[in-house]
Chains A and B, each alone.
Chain A
Amino acid sequence: MTNTVTKVLVIEDDADIRGLIIKVIKGMDLIALEAQTINDGTQIAAKEKPDLIILDLGLPDGDGIAFINNYRSWSTNPVLVLSARVQEHEKVKALDAGAEDYLTKPFGTAELMARMRVLLRRLSQSDTNTPTFSFGDVKIDLSLRKVTKVDEEIHLSPIEYQLLNILLTNSGKVVTHRQLLKEVWGGQHTEDNHYLRIYMGHLRQKLEDDPTQPKFLLTEIGVGYRLDI
């Protein structure tokens, strides 16, 4: 995992978009691999063991979710999913199946680079976690269970703290409703989204300057939440 070259595999059937993504990858000084179909993608992934896979959900030869399920059976390396907006449910399914993040077409290159950086950074420092985080004027020390905003201590309820903790450990990357509910409330509450939304609202009230236009605790409509730091 700690080899010096980082390989990114792009599985996308449209040549122009593939070209664009590859250009971005090369611009980041990474090795780009490409495939046009799920079939080719599976073979290249098995042979080259890429550090990151960028997968289009609208491929002609098959189901992207089946690919993710298969890939997750032997690799934990991140998968970034590309979807058109109509495939709303598909992308949630892909995330719940084990994809790390998604981008909706049309997306900008800056957005793509930001997503890729988050996923690759998480990969390289997966076991050098630090207990302290900060965003805006909020500082969090997980070892002391202490949250401060403008040096003033903020009291969080256990559930709010747990939510924040999960978002922090996944910072920069989307976390689906289902994943959050499962981690905080356990397996049987994966449909009770309203609890989650209300606690999330509280967290925003306490940590964001303007809760109606949050800068860090972002809502991904129809998908989940993202802590953008």
Chain B
Amino acid sequence: MNKKTINSSLADRPLFSGLICIGIASILSLACAALLGIVDIANIVMIFLLSTFLIATSLGRNAAIFSAFINVVFFDFFFVPPRFSFSVDDSQYLITFLVMMIVGLVTGHLAAKLKEQIKDVSARERLAKALQSLSRGLFSAQSDEQIVQVSKSALEVPLGIEIDLFITENLDQLKIDKFDMQSVAWSMQSGTRIFNEVDEVDGKSIIYLPIRSELKTLGILVASDSTKSLRHYGRDDLLQTAANLIALEVVQLRSAQARELSKVEAATERLKSAILSSLSHDLRTPLTTMIGLAESLQERNQGINSQSKADLETIRSQGLRLSSMIGNLLEMARLQTQGPTLKKEWQPIEDVIGSSIKHFSTSFPKSIVKTSITSDVPPLYFDEVLIERVLCNLLENAAKYSLESATIEVLVRKNEQFVEVSVIDAGTGFAQEPSQLFEMFARGISDTNKSGMGLGLAICKEIIEAHGGSISAKNNESKAGSVITFTLPITENSELPKL
């Protein structure tokens, strides 16, 4: 580095190298003059040529040309007869002068060119090394800040330029007075580089390089050199390569961060569902024993009177209701943490109504359910497990708030783009504003001793809304009791067979 600086400064000072050429020619003349008797004049020519060649290799082309000229002058003056004059007796010497001149010029040119090439090669080697150290540094970078730091330290000094790197996709975050914001914005938005080779005002060479992945601009690299064009030694191309390397690293860093995040999310999800399923298992196990034992006692014929049998039935049915409540609680927890994950399929609504009624009547054996479905109700696209839960909740709700043997009605009909399902009971109706019923833990009758946590309707709302439907409640106008209606959207399905 230091050697380079000295050499280039020597070559840059013509007066100094001119003096050196004159000095060398003088010394040679003196030495050869002393040896004139011993050394033949033809060999003196050779010595002068050699000096031109050496000057060419060390001081460059201009010095070599000057040296060739000075050598001819000195040779003519000191050695060509008549000596110590510029006149020439033998015209043969004119050819010698010409050859000296040409050889001097050609060797000087060749030597200087070689030197320039060496200089160029070593400069490019420095650039290649800078690129290498950049890619090494980027490889171990773990954050955007580190990428900026590594890029600055790897490129600035070896390239002799000033670098600013901003890793952001948002232009608004870039408020840099130092640069022409228009160029920055245009470069980032269009994803193309802007090269201002030499600025007309301050002579600065500046390049704006967007950091681009396949489709997105991830940031911008601004490089500037205040003394010479960035095109020197192909630094502009090198900077483009550097920008590509940086883009690659930013993309990798982003995807690594995303992977890390999704790993954490997946682990959280696994934990949640593990807790839910073990809770479900742990809570249901004692209930199963309780219900099972109550049932097997009921079937025993000896030692149990009818009153005890009725009590056992209460134990059994309350156990089943408790189990359904636990189901609601777990379902709500699942919906709240994971959001409803729907496993929708095309199916007739009758299927799920039938199975919910069957399920419902195991815990409310005395209730009577009447169904009526109009014939124009098409198959619907829904998650049967979740809709069964909705229907079970609505039926249980209806049964809880009406007389034990009262009839519950389920009406299904088509209404434009929706299918309406209404569950109608003949109970006490709602005391409060029906729309509040669907808030979590709201209860229709506040001072009631009926079982239930008000969770049921909140879950229904969550499930129905996830299906793109709505749910509403009102008191029956004509008679006692309440009506809860939910809707499911009718969607066309071309796959369905025409029947």
Which residues in A have some Cβ–Cβ distance to B below 8 Å? Answer: 14, 16-17, 19-21, 23-24, 27, 58, 84-88, 105-110, 112, 192-195, 197-198, 200-202, 204, 210-214, 218-222
Contact = CB atoms under 8 A, between A and B. Distances in A.
B73 interface: no
Nearest to B290: A106
Contacts of A110: 295, 299
Contacts of A24: 292, 296
Given A106-B291, A108-B316, A87 B296 contact: no
Contact of A16 (B281, B285, B388): B285
8 contacts: A17-B285, A20-B289, A20-B293, A105-B284, A192-B495, A212-B371, A212-B373, A218-B358
Contact of A220 (B284, B355, B362, B373): B355
Nearest to B385: A222
A194 B350 contact: no
B288 A197 contact: no
Q: Can you list the 7 inter-chain pairs with the closest CB atoms, starting with the nearest?
A: A194-B346, A16-B289, A106-B288, A212-B371, A86-B280, A197-B347, A20-B292
A146 to B, nearest CB: 24
B96 interface: no
Chain A contact residues: helix, strand, loop or mixed: helix
B277 A87 contact: yes
Nearest to A211: B350
A86 B354 contact: no
B276 A86 contact: yes
A213 B354 contact: yes
A99 to B, nearest CB: 18
Contacts of B362: 108
Given A16-B285, A16-B286, A193 B346 contact: yes
Given A86-B277, A201-B351, A108 B346 contact: no
Contact of B379 (A197, A218, A222): A197
Contacts of B379: 194, 197-198
Contacts of B327: 85
Contacts of B385: 88, 221-222
Contact of A219 (B293, B351, B499): B351
A131 to B, nearest CB: 29
A107 B319 CA distance: 10
A17 B289 contact: yes
A218 B281 CA distance: 26
Contact of B323 (A14, A106, A193): A106
A87 B274 CA distance: 11
Q: Is the interface of B mostly helix, strand, loop or mixed?
A: helix
A107 B355 CA distance: 16
B280 A85 contact: yes
Contacts of B495: 192, 194
A107 B352 contact: no
A106 B352 contact: no
A135 to B, nearest CB: 16
B330 interface: yes
A108 B316 CA distance: 9
B269 to A, nearest CB: 14
Contacts of A58: 277, 281
Contact of B348 (A16, A88, A105, A198): A198
Contact of A221 (B287, B369, B388, B410): B388
Contacts of B292: 17, 20-21, 24, 106-109, 112
Contacts of A220: 355
Contacts of B353: 212-213
Contacts of B373: 212
B145 interface: no
Contacts of B280: 84-86
Contact of A194 (B281, B347, B354, B355): B347
A24 B291 CA distance: 13
B350 A212 contact: yes
A94 B358 CA distance: 24
Interface residues on B, range: 35 or more
B247 interface: no
B497 A198 contact: yes
B56 interface: no
B357 interface: yes
Nearest to A18: B289
B462 to A, nearest CB: 17
A204 B355 CA distance: 13
Interface string B93-113: 000000000000000000000
A14 B371 contact: no
| Central interface residue in A88, A192, A195, A222, by most chain B CB within 10 Å | A222
A159 to B, nearest CB: 10
Interface in B426-465: none
A218 B355 contact: yes
Given A106-B323, A198-B499, A84 B295 contact: no
B287 A106 contact: yes
Nearest to B289: A16
A14 B285 contact: yes
B354 A212 contact: yes
A23 B292 CA distance: 10
B338 to A, nearest CB: 12
Nearest to B287: A106
A17 B296 contact: no
Given A20-B288, A24-B296, A106 B320 contact: yes
Interface string B302-345: 00000000000000100110010001001000000000000101
Given A105-B284, A109-B292, A201 B354 contact: no
Contacts of B352: 219, 221
Contact of A84 (B284, B316, B357, B388): B284
B345 A194 contact: yes
A198 B350 contact: no
A26 to B, nearest CB: 11
Nearest to B387: A221
Contacts of B499: 198, 202
B292 to A, nearest CB: 4
A110 B320 CA distance: 14
A9 B378 CA distance: 46
Contacts of A194: 345-347, 379, 493, 495-496
B296 A200 contact: no
Contacts of A195: 497
